[in-house]
Chains A and B, each alone.
Chain A
């Protein structure tokens, strides 16, 4: 199993541009999350999904959108990028049963907006 994969690994955007961060998991997990991590800070939840077709806002959703059309994929869309969105973005998925609440993270996407 590849676990949670994210693309791209790095990206530089200009102010006002848009992009989609891709996230795929192959563990058949229903729960998926998007976090951002600023330097020296903890993780802040942007959006999450409890299953295909169901998404909800987290702590810092402004400037982002998500969709969940399949169990495997949970893309994050940035519209009109701003310097405040410069951060490292992590996608995570969560299992059920014995692994409930254990989140598995992808390697991250480092985004710079200039």
Chain B
């Protein structure tokens, strides 16, 4: 069974304080790993897809990286508007549906 574990569950940062979120996964053949952002009361919003170990993707203050066992979402000099829950999901090579982690709730204080 595919498993996705995200840590920490919650993270509080000061504006400008860089940090990383972790997504550990167990899957029999990874087709892709996905990061989504979810604001309170809204649906998740797609951020990145990573397909192979060593791959990196960047968007504004966010950078996602992938190894064979985990992915990191690095947040550089965060701003209060980066506050959200960040969800990680995996898709197995032989699968047709995503398995989501429980998310990391990020709060960035001004």
Stretch at the interface among B12-20, B39-47, B62-70, B75-83: B39-47
Q: Answer yes or no: B72 CB below 8 A from chain A CBs.
A: no
Cβ contacts under 8 Å, B42 to chain A: 107-108
Contact call A42/B46, Cβ cutoff below 8 A = no
Known pairs A101-B91, A103-B46, A105-B44; A42 contacts B100 (CB<8 A): yes
Cβ contacts under 8 Å, B98 to chain A: 43, 45, 103
Q: Which residues of A come within 8 Å of B, CB atoms?
A: 4, 33, 40-45, 48, 50, 56, 58-59, 90, 92, 101-108
Contact partner, B44, options A43, A48, A101, Cβ 8 Å? A43
The closest CB in chain B to the CB of A108 belongs to B43
Contact call A40/B43, Cβ cutoff below 8 A = no
Tell me the dominant secondary structure on chain A's binding face: strand
Chain B residues with a Cβ closer than 8 Å to the other chain, count:
21
Q: Answer yes or no: B49 CB below 8 A from chain A CBs.
A: yes
Contact call A48/B97, Cβ cutoff below 8 A = yes
Contact call A90/B102, Cβ cutoff below 8 A = no
Contact partner, A42, options B31, B96, B103, Cβ 8 Å? B103
Sample (6) of A-B pairs whose CB atoms are under 8 Å apart: A42-B87, A42-B89, A42-B102, A101-B34, A101-B49, A104-B46
CA–CA, A32 and B17, complex, Å: 38
CA–CA, A92 and B89, complex, Å: 14
Cβ contacts under 8 Å, A106 to chain B: 43
